[in-house]
Chain A
């Protein structure tokens, strides 16, 4: 993607950082949000469970009260006697029931209905509904079947008494003293309003509610009972029944509900229903704050990454600026060394490099200068006025003695000598040319010195095409003549030989002159240590020229001993015209 490709380091670093930060912020935010959401949800769920438990305890206590009341009646001898027909004192039973009722505001009515048709209630017989058949009531039938077991009804309208109250009925069979047969049915009605008051007062979020079902799935209480009956709403009654106690979440998307079920122990299940999206009451608020916080930290982090990347790339930028200065040729600069380790090291190395380049350039300049000087020297050596004068003097002397043939020889040798040295201005010449040059030179000298000088030139033909410096041998030969042979008694012989040794060309100039001692030999090739008489000036010049052109591996070396002659060894690389290496 071209969009995310940057050319500068700064942009790259900033983009990478920004990308990382965005990912981190999103992931962390999401995790934090999920964690806190589930934490809030868990707390809310626990709270609901606790609340439902409380409700259950309340309802349980009412039911227990009913049961206690029923026991009170069951164990009353007067009630049993009246039902069994042993006594006709219905007034005392009514008074007994009335007394119980006085202490219990939550109980709507108490009635005892004998199988023999006798009945009595706390209100006597006056409040009975004549149009309702008591034995047809479900609480009556179930209690009769139960044979003494407690039966608790769902909430219903009690039609037996003519005030049509909503009640929860507890009914059980009254049995005779030895528990051998049933005498009738005892009914204790709990005012349903007490349960209604408990349940309708419960707040489970804004929309949550509590409902109760009995074990048969009949609704005991539901705030939206009518909506359920007319199918405007569905309730997860079966799921709640299947669950003993605990909770589950209905999967209804945004309207998902958490059902917290509590088994009451007497057949009812109390179910708290709360809406998931509401449990986390301030979910939206939480989301907003998370997003806002994330946004702010994002902006701050991005700014930081921008600044950081700029700080990182600034020294690089600076260095690049200095480098472009160097590119332009300005070597007189130093990059300020940055405190950052890597960049600082780079700057130091760069500074060193610039210094080194500066030094090398100075050296090159110096060497060039020296080269030119040494060439000049070589040129001077070639046209040494002394030599010319002496040669011409010899020619004049020979001419005066009518030795015309010798005059011709010498003159032509002189002419060839000069022609050989005029080699198209090039500094390097084939060894062949140099040999020819030196033989001309020696021919002239030999004619001058006659018996005092003889020479032999013996170079391999195989090396003649290799290159050498111009006028290389002449100073060496000159040296051999003037300092070795001239002071010698008898004939001096100069031998010039050349051969190849591997990649090296070795030329030797060998004389049998006076030679020199070791001390003197050592000083010969040491610059600045040359003796005043001038011997060695030519040698050093040649030595340095060779080293300048071909490197320190090449040059002159001298082997000598007093009265034994001197050998100057020239080492040159084997370079011919095709492989022009070493020519700078």
Chain B
């Protein structure tokens, strides 16, 4: 009967209208970016949770600011000391069991953490590295200071400060550490290319201020005509600075340091350290979460993200842009 098929047609139109309306509503809601359901969990495994490690404290702050902005549940874990590789391995194992939606890792060791990266990959959790990478292709992105570039900046600054021809030296920290290798490469790239300079050598402090102090004293005695020193991290720079100060060589031996601390700031103000290359840990933390969010959203993320570095001198250290890098408020 015609009436029956007509009723069916009517019903079909009505259903279609209802379906379109509902779909439209939900589509609109989806387009507006309302994500129902739980926020993604991201775990950040850093090298040190110690309150005294300003770099990691500021990075953590950046992580939380980004987490708030992007609606991510971020958790920051890590060993007490940067050298606690085994502790970090244990922490990573625990994190894998918790199965977060993404892991951000600042590896305490370039090689020993690789098996853990593989485990993370097998668990199907996207992995990104922050600040310190691992010797593996697994991480989707590496968010860190371009240390070669930072090293070049330090080298260029020293070349600017020392007239030459002159002898210069590099006080590094832990040999075979990825960051130190890159920084040294950057420094050497600049200074070796400059005929005025003779690099007497690279000396390792093992990240110990006192070793740096003693090494520099020794170096200054051995090479009284040494005109420039580059300290590749905070303890190395402070140790070298103290040695120059104690040897009464303030101003004669130019020192370009890395990172910052109250001690380093004092040396900078005293004119013992002429410049220090600072990183941007806040941005590093912020960008690492932002990258993780992009990755989870299925976007393509760059393999390497440079968070940048900055040369700070006595004259510009109290400028708005720099004082927060030198003096994080805590």
Contact = CB atoms under 8 A, between A and B. Distances in A.
B269 A131 contact: yes
A15 B10 contact: yes
Interface string B62-93: 10010011010000000000000000000000
Interface in A293-315: 294-295, 298-299, 302, 306
- Most chain A Cβ neighbours within 10 Å, of B34, B71, B325: B34
A196 B329 contact: yes
Contact of B22 (A129, A207, A291): A291
B320 A218 contact: yes
A284 interface: yes
Contacts, number: 121
Contacts of B53: none
A159 B269 contact: yes
B25 interface: yes
Contacts of A229: 320-321, 324
B284 to A, nearest CB: 10
B318 A11 contact: no
A6 interface: yes
A193 B269 contact: no
Interface stretch (A39-47, A220-228, A394-402, A497-505): A220-228
B294 interface: no
Interface in A228-284: 229-230, 232, 254, 277, 283-284
A206 B266 CA distance: 40
Contact of B280 (A14, A226, A291): A226
A156 B318 contact: yes
A157 interface: yes
A157 B71 contact: no
Interface in B287-330: 287, 308, 318, 320-321, 323-327, 329
B201 interface: no
Nearest to B322: A229
B100 interface: no
B129 to A, nearest CB: 20
B21 A26 contact: yes
Give the interface size bracket for A toward B. Answer: 35 or more
B193 interface: no
Dominant SS among interface residues on chain B: helix
A511 B236 CA distance: 163
Contacts of B71: 206-207
B29 interface: yes
Given A7-B6, A207-B69, A295-B21, A230 B283 contact: yes
Contact of B10 (A11, A196, A299): A11
Contacts of A157: 318, 323, 326-327
Q: Which 7 A-B pairs have the closest CB atoms?
A: A284-B34, A291-B25, A131-B269, A226-B282, A229-B321, A157-B327, A287-B29
12 contacts: A10-B3, A11-B10, A22-B21, A25-B21, A164-B265, A193-B329, A218-B320, A232-B283, A277-B33, A284-B32, A294-B25, A295-B22
Given A7-B2, A230-B280, 6 more contacts: A131-B269, A206-B71, A223-B65, A277-B32, A287-B29, A288-B26
Interface of A: 3-4, 6-8, 10-11, 14-15, 18, 22, 25-26, 129, 131-132, 154, 156-157, 159, 162, 164, 166, 192-193, 196, 206-207, 218-219, 223-227, 229-230, 232, 254, 277, 283-284, 287-288, 290-292, 294-295, 298-299, 302, 306
Interface of B: 2-3, 6-7, 9-10, 13-14, 17-18, 21-22, 24-26, 28-29, 32-34, 36, 62, 65, 68-69, 71, 262, 265-266, 269-271, 280, 282-283, 286-287, 308, 318, 320-321, 323-327, 329
